[in-house]
Amino acid sequence: MIWSSEDVARDAVRRQGAGMPAARVAEAVAQATVRERETAEELRSPGPVEPGGLVASPDPAELAEMWAARHAEWRRVQALMEASDWSTYGPEGDSVGSAWAAERTVRREQALAAHAAHLERRREAAEEVRGEVWVGAGAGRLLRQAASRAGLTPQEVLAQLVGRVVVGEDGAMSVAPFIPSR
């Protein structure tokens, strides 16, 4: 599951801001403002990115996007604190942030469940044996007749036949007589 820059920023600010006083939140907003401006400027600058520069990320655009998202989230937290007259930030009192966190948790659980189901399907597919059978003309006619009487395709009759195979101790394979059915 891939989180957006906003998801990452919301999660980081929620964790970092827990118990943070209003003055420290203001400092975080100021730092995010500077980082957003610097990464955006370096991204727009002509020429290659200098080693040791601000943008050491393999993707400078991703870094600039991340700082823009963090800046927006710190500003949202600061505005919430001012509007609610909080002296410290408490993530549990942030209804918007809590709703987003719950949504991320649900999306993560859904992604994990989908991944587990995908792995199970792959495991089951790996256990399957698929084959192609070439049947002689005489046996093919008998197979088609049996399938027609049962209202099945020849492939369905063969699948039922294979499902009834018994392997003896000596490795000999046999099938007890049966009538193909739906």
Reported as a single tens digit per residue, the pLDDT across 47-105 is 655 555 554 456 888 889 999 999 999 999 999 999 999 999 999 999 999 998 899 89
Question: For the whole model, what pTM was predicted?
Answer: 0.58
What pLDDT was estimated at residue 70? 95
What tokens were used for 115? 């991944």
Mean pLDDT of the chain: 89
Reported as a single tens digit per residue, the pLDDT across 153-182 is 999 999 999 999 999 999 999 999 999 988
Q: Report the pLDDT averaged over residues 125-138.
A: 84
Q: Report the pLDDT averaged over residues 97-121.
A: 92
Q: Provide the residue count of the chain.
A: 182
φ, ψ at 166 (rounded to 5°): -120, 130
Measured distance CA(180)–CA(144) in Å, rounded:
12
What pLDDT was estimated at residue 49? 54
What pLDDT was estimated at residue 182? 85
Share of the chain above pLDDT 70, in %: 92
Torsion from C-alpha of 26, 20, 39, 73, nearest 10 degrees = -90
